[in-house]
Amino acid sequence: MSWLNLDLAFALGCALLTSFILWRFMRLTRALRESEERWKFALEGAGDGVWDWNVQLDTVVFSARYKEMVGYTDEDIAANEELWRQRIHPDDRAQVDEDIHAYLQGRTGAYYNEHRVLCRDGSVKWVLARGMIVSRTADGKPLRMIGTHADITGRKNMEERMRHMAHYDLLTELPNRALISERLQQAVIKARRDKTHMAVMFLDLDRFKPVNDNLGHDIGDALLKQVAQRLLVGVRASDTVARIGGDEFVVMLPTIEHERDATVVAEKILHTLNQPFNVAGHEISISGSIGIAVYPEHGEEEKLLLLNADIAMYHAKSDGRNDYRMFAPHMQ
């Protein structure tokens, strides 16, 4: 075989090998692309929006489902991570940053975060963000991260409703017994630390039972709602008015200078309750009996304060009603 034939054979072999390598590369690339597209399709099929973040270039590509979720179009969303960050609710940005950096730095095994996003129409949605690093540089630095955003607004709203129901009275929307107990504990701790005074008032309505008996529970419930509104008008924004059951209410004054401050509030409450109520065309007159206990004179923990305020209230009721009594040791 001549040298010319050898050269031709070698060249032909190289060409065939190059064609095979190119074919193989294109096939692998196509398979990878198809696999990635199937993966993204599966994610979007579950209702999640997909994001693809180039960590080194700090650019992000968002799927159609993500844009639909937040109400933006292709023209609205630039492939810029900082612009994406601006769509996060301001109160949640710091935690999102912390969770992403913790994952990128290897301090956590996965990126997982729940936060609010600002939609184009001005509404706010809750999303569950999850992500993972899919490629790294030769020295191990994150290169690319892919993740999803799932709309969890419905679940968050349900959780908030459940939390509200656990801490607020369903009829009057006032704090209930559980929440007022928490706030009393916190107020006592603060008063003890600051060496200040606070007061608890226990209120029981007078002549409420005849309203239920004669006019029905619907009228009684409507009356309780109006009572709640009047009580709120008579206190400061920092005070708490709670309904702990039936026609019993608790008013907490977290800071007072003197016992007289509490009695002034009690007098104001009694005055507002003495004004006739108009409920579904019925003019109803009621009053209230109030017991007052002051920290630390009448107790140094919330349960004792509430108990002593209750005792003082019964003395106000037994002494003629429509009045208040400050707790005194002899009442026990």
- C-alpha to C-alpha distance for 281 and 192, rounded to whole angstroms: 48
Query: How many degrees, rounded to 5, is the angle at CA 289 between CA 283 and CA 293?
Result: 145
SS3 category, 225: helix
- End-to-end CA distance of the chain: give it in Å, rounded: 123
- C-alpha to C-alpha distance for 265 and 240, rounded to whole angstroms: 12
- C-alpha to C-alpha distance for 293 and 301, rounded to whole angstroms: 11
Q: In which order are the strands placed within the sheet that holds 324-326?
A: 240-245, 248-256, 197-206, 287-295, 324-326
Given 99, 204, 247, 310, the catalytic residue: 247
- C-alpha to C-alpha distance for 48 and 45, rounded to whole angstroms: 7
Question: 248-256 and 282-284 as β-strands: parallel, antiparallel, unpaired?
Answer: unpaired
247 counts as catalytic:
yes
Q: At what angle do helices 259-273 and 217-233 cross, to 10 degrees?
A: 140
Q: Which residues pair with 61 in a beta bridge?
A: 52
> What's the Rg (C-alpha) of the chain?
34
Q: In which order are the strands placed within the sheet that holds 49-54?
A: 59-62, 49-54, 142-151, 124-136, 111-118
**Token pair 């003395």 is at which residue?**
315
Just list the catalytic residues.
247
